[in-house]
Amino acid sequence: MTGIDTSPPTAGKSGPVPIGPSGAQGLWGGRFNRGPGALMRAINASIAVDQRLWREDIEGSKAHAAMLAAQGIISSDDEKAIQEGLDAIGAEIAAGQFEFSEDLEDIHLNIEARLTERIGEAGKRLHTGRSRNDQVATDFKLWTRRALLAASHSLEALQIGLVRCAEAHADWILPGFTHLQTAQPVTLGHHLLAYVEMIARDDRRLRAAWSSADECPLGAAALAGTAYPIDREATALALGFDGPMANSLDAVSARDFALEALGALAIAAVHLSRLAEEIVLWTSPQFGFARLSDEWSTGSSIMPQKRNPDAAELVRAKAARIAANSAALLSIVRALPLAYSKDLQEDKALVFEAFDSFALMVGAMTGMIATTTFDRAAMRAAAARGFSTATDLADGLVRALAMPFRTAHHVAGAAVRRAEELGLSSLEDLPLAEFQAIEPRFTAEAQALLTVEASVAARLSFGGTAPVRVREQIARWRQELGIEEPETKEPGMEDGQ
Ligand code: ARG
């Protein structure tokens, strides 16, 4: 569909081209004797990237043409021809029948040239009172707004998958880590809901970026506005914006909408990479907590036993690239004087790549979460190791014996040391007599609180890991995300019946 040669320019093509009616010179070459050389054309052309803006470009042109006619700037006959021509071009592109030309630089000139080819003189009137500078800012802003909404929707699907998985494992116990060292037992439901919370904030950031991109650059023209009596309010509203941007210099040079989008996307991607990393750890033979489905595993060409978590690893790495794209666009905009400079043409590849990667990342995470199986016994055993209930022992001494916490901490530490001497790895296995040798008032009831089940059940504080708290949060998320009740529910048992 592109018809573009993406190979590097060769010596044979390096001479300047004679100026002629075709190519971009046909659209802007009036003051030149010769056209640009091959390398100039190669560095200047953006059509390979910005052809993705074709829908937005046609939409923007249609709104502009309608406004020009309504304002009496072009005739209604010309407007009609332009509208029909643009629709026909849209159909050509959608059908893959459009020949994109690198000589026509970008999507704007490609479409405009084709329009004139199709409808003649009227096509040449479309660019009245506008510039590619406000045109590209408008197209790109429209595209970014749509991409933000699509990204936001995709995150909702992942959240739903995480909530379902959390519900199925609300009270399954695994070690909670600090410093990647066993800290205290937590429930898998609780762990997964941590990501649901993060992603909810990510979603809010994406929507906030959408909301702040609510003003339309179109009509700012090259940088200073235009002498034609245009109606910027009309084009802004026709394109779904709340209104026009109030300063023409700002309108053509601002890319903070893209920076905000990339920033929000980078944070969300980094969050996905943390979950991806946990999948890598959990599915490793060393942890053995989880197993990826065949669908989401890859094998090794030499080691027959392998089940590699490639998708999770790629999510990790793609997050780095999205963060890098965000940094790259910040650096492009940094210190750029007003108004438009061609530096800004490099914005689109960064944003397109980031959203493309993000879609793959969210899809992969959603797929992995839906199909990963967890090993309850292995997780429980790991949760008990490393004396993970030592805090519970100290808390128990505080509660039962009114011991000050610092003293209790010390006593619990002695119990851990004793267990270690005996070659045990869990306080669950230390005999009662050993506890009593350290603290004679220690009881069997107190010992019963040192299981990982008792440990998580005790953490009832709001936001804590106790299964009852986790189930409350699951119920809240079910409501929030509009998740149907589980299928196991009997018919006729709906609320209120
Ligand atoms: N292809 C350009 C871009 O993406 C369009 C704007 C060109 N403006 C200009 N003054 N050459 O930024």
CB atoms within 10 A of CB 159: 25
What's the pLDDT at 494?
43
383: its two tokens: 């949760």
DSSP 3-state of 473? helix
Q: Are 205 and 268 in contact (CB under 8 A)?
A: yes
CA 212/CA 197 separation, integer angstroms: 23
312: its two tokens: 């999770």
Mutation pick for ligand 1 pocket among 47, 61, 136, 346 (CB with most ligand atoms within 8 Å) = 136
In angstroms, the first-to-last Cα distance of the chain is 59
Atom number, ligand 1, closest to the C-alpha of residue 46: 1
Q: How far from the centroid of its chain's Cα atoms is residue 311's Cα?
A: 16
Q: Residues 346-373: what's their mean pLDDT?
A: 98
Whether 133 is in the pocket of ligand 1, judged by its Cβ within 6 Å, is yes
Q: Is the CA virtual torsion 402, 406, 410, 416 positive or negative? A: positive
Q: How far is the CA of 59 from the centre of ligand 1 (A)?
A: 18
Q: Is the CA virtual torsion 401, 402, 404, 406 positive or negative? A: positive
Active site residues: 179, 300
Whether 130 is in the pocket of ligand 1, judged by its Cβ within 6 Å, is no
Structural domains of the chain in order of their starting residue, each with its CATH number? 37-128 (1.10.275.10), 134-216+252-375 (1.20.200.10), 382-481 (1.10.40.30)
Whether 134 is in the pocket of ligand 1, judged by its Cβ within 6 Å, is no
- pLDDT-derived band at 11 (thresholds 50, 70, 90) equals very low
Q: How many CA atoms lie within 13 A of 96 on its CB side?
A: 1
From the number of C-beta atoms within 10 Å of its C-beta (0-12, 13-18, 19+), residue 282 rates as: buried
What's the pLDDT at 300?
81
Asked which of 99-103, 355-359, 433-437, 482-486 is least confident by mean pLDDT, the reply is 482-486
What are the b/e assignments for 33-67, b being 16+ CB within 10 Å? eebbebeebbeebbbebbbbbbebbbbbbbbbbbb
Q: How far is the CA of 402 from the centre of ligand 1 (A)?
A: 74
Give yes or no for residue 49 having a pLDDT over 80. yes
**DSSP-H helix ranges across 47-120:** 47-50, 54-70, 76-94, 107-119
Give yes or no for residue 493 having a pLDDT over 50. no
Q: Residues 112-119: what's their mean pLDDT?
A: 98
Whether 46 is in the pocket of ligand 1, judged by its Cβ within 6 Å, is yes
36: its two tokens: 């640009």
Atom number, ligand 1, closest to the C-alpha of residue 131: 8
Q: Which residue in 217, 208, 262 sits closest to 235, CA to CA?
A: 217
What's the pLDDT at 307?
86
What's the pLDDT at 5?
53
Mutation pick for ligand 1 pocket among 104, 133, 252, 348 (CB with most ligand atoms within 8 Å) = 133
Q: Which residue in 264, 261, 258 sits closest to 200, CA to CA?
A: 264
Whether 344 is in the pocket of ligand 1, judged by its Cβ within 6 Å, is yes
CA 497/CA 485 separation, integer angstroms: 15
Q: Residues 352-377: what's their mean pLDDT?
A: 98
What's the pLDDT at 30?
83
Q: How far is the CA of 295 from the centre of ligand 1 (A)?
A: 44
For the chain, percent of residues with pLDDT exceeding 70: 93
Q: Are 146 and 257 in contact (CB under 8 A)?
A: no
What's the pLDDT at 186?
98
Q: Residues 462-481: what's their mean pLDDT?
A: 98
Mutation pick for ligand 1 pocket among 108, 132, 135, 343 (CB with most ligand atoms within 8 Å) = 132
Q: Which residue in 8, 56, 44, 6 sits closest to 351, CA to CA?
A: 56
Q: Are 204 and 177 in contact (CB under 8 A)?
A: no
